[in-house]
Amino acid sequence: MTRLTVAVIIPTIPGRERSLEQARLSALRQERKADQLIVERDSERTGAWAARNRALARVKCDVVAFLDDDDTLNPSHLKICMRVLEQSPFKPDLVYPRPVFLGMQDPTAVTHQSVFPTSPWGLRFTQEHAEHIRQIGSFIPMTHLVRTEAVRAIGGFKPGYVLPSGRYRGEDEDYLIRLLDAAEARGHRVQDTFEHVDRRTWYWRANPKSTAGRGL
């Protein structure tokens, strides 16, 4: 087994120092220690997509673990998710675990076996789920792990935009679609590109300004 290195990235903005410290401490208290911890302060308010790109340019590790500044990680988060990236026979580019919802209802839903809405948790990622992301919207939160080379190969993050249909495609959704497209272009089966870990490894806190679940 090849042991991979991992960097935790936390983008933040001024005024969120208290929640940032909780997020940072949760990253430092991991059972499997991060090889790098990057806090990217977006003092100019350029947007989360730009802050993530600046942080990505500083990464020296094989894997990036994204963490929003208002969420926190269970101590087992990195250990569980890195084990999948290192040992899964599917060789996924991205691993997403199940969250614990705090102060909010689950905003996620996916089309599964032609049924919508269906909870995505506990389901193996499929071609149908990939099409849901492309046509309807993302159900995968940003608190996930992804191979650094995969993100860099697609040029990192881009700002959101309005589709011809009038629906807004957010930066996170666009990034996931480009990851899927790039994997397919190099001959990787789309259902093997993302892998779900049905373990609750992080805490998703309610944020009234969040766009979580937009488009669902």
What CATH number is associated with residue 170? 3.90.550.10
pLDDT recorded at residue 208: 53
Strands (E), 85-193: 94-102, 110-112, 115-118, 145-147, 161-162, 168-169
Tens of pLDDT along 115-126? 999 999 999 999
Contact 133, 176 (CB under 8 A): yes
What residues of the chain score a pLDDT lower than 70?
Answer: 1, 208-216
Residues 78 and 209: their CA atoms lie apart, in Å, by 27
pLDDT recorded at residue 213: 36
Domain that holds residue 25: 6-204
| Residue 185 is assigned to a structural domain of this protein | yes
pLDDT recorded at residue 206: 83
Picking from 123, 111, 211, the residue whose alpha carbon sits closest to that of residue 160 is: 211
For the chain, what's the residue count? 216
pLDDT recorded at residue 89: 96
| Residue 193 is assigned to a structural domain of this protein | yes
194 to each of 8, 46, 70, 112, 179, how far by Cα in Å?
19, 28, 24, 16, 9
| Residue 61 is assigned to a structural domain of this protein | yes
| Residue 45 is assigned to a structural domain of this protein | yes
What is the signed CA dihedral for 68, 206, 118, 172, rounded to 10 degrees?
-30
| Residue 94 is assigned to a structural domain of this protein | yes
pLDDT recorded at residue 90: 96
pLDDT recorded at residue 214: 35
| Residue 209 is assigned to a structural domain of this protein | no
Picking from 9, 141, 29, 28, the residue whose alpha carbon sits closest to that of residue 69 is: 9
| Residue 215 is assigned to a structural domain of this protein | no
| Residue 210 is assigned to a structural domain of this protein | no
pLDDT recorded at residue 207: 72
pLDDT recorded at residue 211: 36
What's the total number of domains in the chain?
A: 1
